[in-house]
Structure 1
Amino acid sequence: MPEVIFAGPEGRLEGRYHPQKNPDAPIAIILHPHPQFGGTMNNRVVYRLHYAFHEIGFTVLRFNFRGVGRSQGEYDQGVGELSDAAAALDYLQSMNPNSKHCWVAGFSFGAWIGMQLLMRRPEITGFVSVAPPANMYDFSFLAPCPASGLIINGTADRVAPPKDIHALVAKLREQKGITITHEEIEGADHFFKDEEAHMNPMIRTVQEYVARRLTEGTR
């Protein structure tokens, strides 16, 4: 898969870009966990999400936020990271001008950034938030949430406790005009460490959801 370097707000950003042969293919960016707690674009969940989208026909980009790997800059409390995500989406769109569908997927801290990007970019048609840390970050900016999406977490997650995610889902479901799908993987921790019991079912759930949405062609 090609390594790419593209311009970000604070210098270059390092990514991995995996195109489809079809120039009209849908596009997706994948956002990684917290940079100060070891989060990178090569995080296992992020890596698997990347290939999950590619396997169902997406052109996919994942990248390192500022200050991670070969990406320039320094950690910026989420503010700069949101700008990085916007720059990554700009880059992906410039490479794929014919794409009709645009998705964002994020894991943990990346889910929080992804949901903020959703508010800024009306062209995003769907989202996947894996283990969004609703206990650590304020998600009240989702008022209203502009697109339908999937929120998925493990029932044994101690980093982002299920009760906080349930509260977030309940709040989002009060909004009209969108559909929030919520799935839980029984017994999974924050990192879906058990490949067979937790990671694989999570990835299958994501693929089935996204494929269904594409088939329906709806927001």
Structure 2
Amino acid sequence: MPEIIFTGPAGRIEGRFQPAKAKNGPIAIILHPHPQFGGTMNNAITYQLFYMFAKRGFAVLRFNFRGVGRSQGEFDHGEGELSDAASALDWAQTVHPDARACWVAGFSFGAWIGMQLLMRRPEIEGFISIAPQANLYDFSFLAPCPSSGLIIHGDQDKVAPPKDVQTLVDKLKTQKGIIVEQQIMPGANHFFEGQVEPLIENCGAYVDKRLAMIEAA
């Protein structure tokens, strides 16, 4: 898992990259939680997502948003972080130009950034959005949501209340041509304390299902 530094809009960005096994293996970009509340690329969920995708033959990149760790710049309330994520995808595509597909996965704040990246980049064909804070962030830009994906959250989440996530899911499910799968994990709070392993298993099962559908097509 080589440490990498690439250039973002606010200066250098620190990341970790796992190349794909196959030349045309897909790319996955992993986005960490809120930088001002201790979120980094080494967050347990971000870290485990990275390995989940790597095990499935993806070229995977996780990185620190601006102002976190060795990444230059300072927190920019989402706008700059979205530019960082776009730069990360650019970098991964440069290293891995034959990738047959791209995915984005994010947790909490990272889920919000990931969904915005999805709107900007038509090559992203799958997403995993963990505990999106639909109560705090505006997701109305998802009109329409361009790709199918998984929204997964806990029924004991006080930070991103289930009713707000449900409203977001219901809105997305009315859109034609995409399938947004929702999974609600019983007993899980916003940080999936004691439940990170089953969370990652659920995410992995979803990716496996999507990859099998592609192979069958």
TM-score range, shorter chain: over 0.9
The 5 Å alignment of 1:1-219 reads: 1-194=1-194, 198-217=195-214
Residue 98 of structure 1 deviates from its aligned partner by: 0.8
Q: Could you state the TM-score of these two structures normalised by the residue count of structure 2?
A: 0.97
* Separation in structure 2 between the aligned mates of residue 85 and residue 182 of structure 1, nearest angstrom: 24
SS in 2 for 1:170: helix
Deviates more, 1:104-113 or 1:55-64: 55-64
Gapped regions of structure 2 (runs ≥ 5):
none
* Separation in structure 2 between the aligned mates of residue 199 and residue 35 of structure 1, nearest angstrom: 20
Deviates more, 1:114-123 or 1:153-162: 153-162
* Separation in structure 2 between the aligned mates of residue 167 and residue 207 of structure 1, nearest angstrom: 25
1:35-66 Cα deviation digits (max 9, x unpaired): 01111000011001111111112110000000
Q: Which runs of 4+ in 1 moved over 3 A?
A: none
Q: Could you state the TM-score of these two structures normalised by the residue count of structure 1?
A: 0.96
1:136-177 Cα deviation digits (max 9, x unpaired): 000000000000000000111111111110110000001111
Tell me, yes or no, if the aligned pair for 2:153 and 2:162 is still in contact at 8 Å: yes
Gapped regions of structure 1 (runs ≥ 5):
none
Residue 20 of structure 1 deviates from its aligned partner by: 2.4
Identity %: 64
SS in 1 for 2:25: coil
SS in 2 for 1:125: strand
1:89-109 Cα deviation digits (max 9, x unpaired): 000011111111100000000
